[in-house]
Each structure stands twice: as structure tokens, then as C-alpha cells.
Structure 1
Amino acid sequence: MDTLELIEKENYTIVQMNRGKVNAINYEMVKELGEVFKKLEDDPDVMGVILSGQPHYFSAGLDLIELYQYDKEQIQQFFTAFGALYLQLVQFKKPFISAITGHSPAGGCVLAVTSDNRFMADGEAYVIGLNEVAVNIQISQNLTEIYAFWMGDGLAHRYILEGKLLSGKEALDAGLVDELVPLDQVFERSERQMKHYMKADQEILINTKKKLRKRLWDKLDLNAENALQEASVLWWKPEIRAKMKAYLESFTNKNKK
């Protein structure tokens, strides 16, 4: 694997995103995450999964620099695959924890909100949130449902429309993350929670998770291609392309300084 590293524990696995220091999400990472989580869900010896990032970054979100270069077929494939990955993770039947090792905006947040617990590094600079509106990417109905699942309809409505990125404290208050812990303790806290789950009868745990998520699952559009069709169409809107190009140029120029 080129974008992930697996750390096998006694009865659970840590999946560490490892694509540069910011873990920007491209098509390759999406496909590898899907393949790995499928294998781990089917493996009877793996009872739970922790998804983690690099120090200071869980994931900075979609790799807009690479995605901007995709043609129409490639961007359709990407959004379909990303929508399928979201549906796969949100329906993952085993205990699933996100060890949020720093920033987790947009696509990073998409991955994190599918998990059962989110332990986030405490730091004033770290942010998390679905800020798709602010970066001119169409959010799917499926994503609005899980945001509301964790923080309630009112806050989800306001924060999504605003394209708001939340500080750790704001995310904690909203119910988007479970706890804030020092960066060097994010793994330890996540593993401690996983070991707690491992003490339970696994059939009971899986059945209970299924019951807790039933109302969320019932609201989801399970056709990944349909779910993100709007995003792939609006991606090519001239005004959006112009804004994205300007953003990428400013970002590239800033990194050159």
C-alpha cells in the first residue's frame, strides 16, 4: 500500500493514513481505505479498527491540487468511490475509532464522523468540520444526515450552511468529538477505548451498534453514484472552476515563500 500503514495489535488494527504530512485524500487513498476496511471487517481475528493520521494532521481533506487535474471521467470515478467509502465506513459493523491527530477539515471530517468515537488532539490551531460550502464543493444528503446524527439538526444546519470549521473546543461542545487530549496521548486514549470494547461480547456489541445506527442508515441513499452526482456535475461549473483555480494558485504561491 502506498497511502496507508497497518499496525496490528492483539485483536484490533490501527490504520494509519500515510500520504505525506497532511494526508490529502486522492483516488488511490480512497481505494486503499475501501480495500483495507473490507478485509478487516471480514477478518474474524480483527475485532475493531482505529483510523489515525500523522502528527498535526488527521487529514487535510481532498487533494484539490490533484483532483483539479482530473478529467470528467476521473472526477466521476473519484466522487463515486468517495461516496462508496463513506457508506462503507458508516455501516462498518465492528467498533471503529478515529484518533484525530490534528487538523481534520472537509474530507478528513467525512472519514472521522463515520466512526463510533473521535478523540482529537487538543490545540488551538486544530480544526474539524464539513466546510464544503466554503470551498465550493457540493455536500451530499448522506453527509448532512450524519452531521445531524452527532450534533443535532439545528447545529448541523447552521454549521454546514456557514461552511464552518470548528475548533476542538467547539467540536467538543457540539458533540462532534468525544474528548480533547494532548497530541501525544491521542493514540493511547483511542486504544484504551478500543480495549474497553474488546471486553464485551462481540456479537452483543455488533448487534447493539446496528440498533443504534438503524435510524441513520434508514435515511441514507445507498447508491454512491447518485449520492455525489451533484458534486461531480457542479465541479465543472465555470465559476467554481475559476474560484478553485484562484485558490490553488494562492495556495501554491504561499508555499513557495
Structure 2
Amino acid sequence: MWVVRKEDEGAARSQQQPLVTLQKLGRVYVMTLIGDGEHRLDETLMEKMIAALNAVQLDEDAAALVTTNEGRFYSNGFNLNWIREEQKKAKSSNLFGRLLATLIGMSVPTIAAICGHASAGGLILAMAHDHRFMASDRGFLYMSEMDVQVRISTGILNLLRASMSPKAFKDNILLAKKQKASDAQALGIVDSVHENASATLQAAINFATELTQRNWNRTFYRTMRLDLKPGLLDSLLNVERQHYVTHRSKI
């Protein structure tokens, strides 16, 4: 069971704090990556995120989802130690593909409130949402794969291609541009920019609340989203290699 964190609990938390929390505000859920770390994606964090998303999906009263972060990072991509362990396996767990597919398969509108750096897997995660809001006072968006020489799976390329303009897609993949909030908004990667983390999250919650008032049929909403990205779920879930593969060619 997910316990909603109350406003009056204050900032103090035990060392056993969760990695992910869910808070329900009316019919809007807010999923927060907790703590001041980089929110690196590994088995532990992604399993908790998938469990949280499934909890929202199972609540028939849910009408929108906002994801956000504490600290300076929305997510700085993968935990590299976990990636190395994955690469040793004969068959990858494809956990990141499952996480993205779970998010894209949600029956409610999804909004990323990006309140810090979103790099590599972190940016991909943000792009799996329907809408993106970003704080202007901290953080940038960055696809680092060109700089660190790793390849991206077809499924993730399909996700980015479906979620970005052709110019934004090219600039992120082939130029590895680091984009501040204003740059990302100009490219259409984020929908709106706000002065700080608090304002960004509040704007995302306000927008989500407005969407709940439309009372859209959840099944039809999911269908329409998937119609915008035909074949994407299959390409994310049915992969024969890891999402990130170090480039070894001498060419």
C-alpha cells in the first residue's frame, strides 16, 4: 500500500526514507523521486516507480499523474554499475523498457514537472510523458550518448522521434546539446517554463487538475495516446539487446 505523505510532516525524514512517494490531491497523483541524489535509474528505483505507476493505474478515481523530483536532479540517467551488471547477463531484464511502457500505457494524462537536470535516461523518462513543465533556475536537458559513445535502442529512438520535432530530435541525438529550460521550450521539448521548482510543480498540478475536470474516458485516452505512437509499446518491450550498448567498432 502507498501512504500519502502529508504536508504537515515537515522536512525531517528517517534514513529509511522511500525512493519514491505518491501523494493524491483530489484526483491528481503526484509521484516524487525523493532525496538530494541524482535519482540514477537501477533495478531498485525502477521497480519502485513501476509499482507506483501501477498503483495509480489501479485507482479508478485517478484522472491525472504528475511526476517530479526533490533535489538538483530529475534523473541523471542510469546507475552505471547496474548497467555493467546487466551487460554481463545473457539476456537483459529490459527493466527500463518496462518502465517506459508502463508510463506510456497509463490511462490518465501524464505531466513531468522537471525540477532539475534530466540527462540520458532521465530525459528519455521525461519524454515518455504527455506534457513537460520545467524549472528555469536549475538544471538542463541532455542526451549524452554521442559524447560517451553508447547506442540507443530502436524502441527508445521511436519514443524520442514521436515526442520531439525533427530538429529537436536531431539536435539531441547528433549534437548532444545541453538545453536550458528556455532552449528546451523553444525546441518544443517542454511545454512551459517556470521560475523555480515550487512554481513548476504547482503549475503542473494546476494543469493536471484542469484536465481532471474534462472527465475523459480513461480507456479512450490511453487508446488515443497509443494511436499517436503506433507500435511503440511493442518496440519498447520486445527488444533483443540492451537499451544502451557501448560502441566497440574501430570504424
Q: Give the TM-score, by structure 1 length.
A: 0.80
Match of 1:142 in 2: 155
State how far apart, in whole Å, the 2-side matches of 1:196 and 1:51 are.
Answer: 16
State how far apart, in whole Å, the 2-side matches of 1:155 and 1:140 are.
Answer: 18
State how far apart, in whole Å, the 2-side matches of 1:4 and 1:141 are.
Answer: 28
Residues 90 and 196 of structure 1, relative CA distance in 2, 3 Å threshold = same
Kept in 1: contact 2:119–2:144 (CA 8 A): yes
Q: Does 1:106 align with 2:120?
A: yes
State how far apart, in whole Å, the 2-side matches of 1:122 and 1:206 are.
Answer: 35
> Which of 55, 60, 66 is the matching residue for 1:39?
55
1:166 deviation in Å? 1.7
Give SS of 1:88's match: helix
Kept in 1: contact 2:73–2:115 (CA 8 A): yes
1:26 deviation in Å? 1.2
The one-letter code matched in structure 2 to 1:139 is I
Identity of aligned residues (%): 18
Kept in 2: contact 1:60–1:106 (CA 8 A): yes
Runs of 4+ with >4 A deviation: 235-239
Kept in 1: contact 2:63–2:108 (CA 8 A): yes
> Which of 194, 199, 212 is the matching residue for 1:198?
212
Q: Does 1:84 align with 2:98?
A: yes
Match of 1:157 in 2: 170
Residues 162 and 2 of structure 1, relative CA distance in 2, 3 Å threshold = same
Match of 1:251 in 2: none
Aligned ranges 1:54-73 → 2 under 5 Å: 54-68=70-84, 72-73=88-89
Match of 1:172 in 2: 185
Q: Does 1:224 align with 2:242?
A: no
Q: Count residues with an aligned counterpart.
A: 233
Residues 52 and 219 of structure 1, relative CA distance in 2, 3 Å threshold = closer
State how far apart, in whole Å, the 2-side matches of 1:149 and 1:67 are.
Answer: 26
Residues 135 and 74 of structure 1, relative CA distance in 2, 3 Å threshold = farther
- After superposition, the CA RMSD in angstroms is 2.7
Residues 192 and 206 of structure 1, relative CA distance in 2, 3 Å threshold = farther
Give SS of 1:58's match: strand
Q: Give the TM-score, by structure 2 length.
A: 0.81
The one-letter code matched in structure 1 to 2:131 is N
Kept in 2: contact 1:120–1:168 (CA 8 A): yes
1:37 deviation in Å? 0.7
Give SS of 1:221's match: helix
State how far apart, in whole Å, the 1-side matches of 2:46 and 2:247 are.
Answer: 21
**Could you list the per-position Cα deviations for residues 71-95 of structure 1 after superposition, in whole angstroms to 9, with x for gaps in the alignment?**
6129822xx0111111221222211
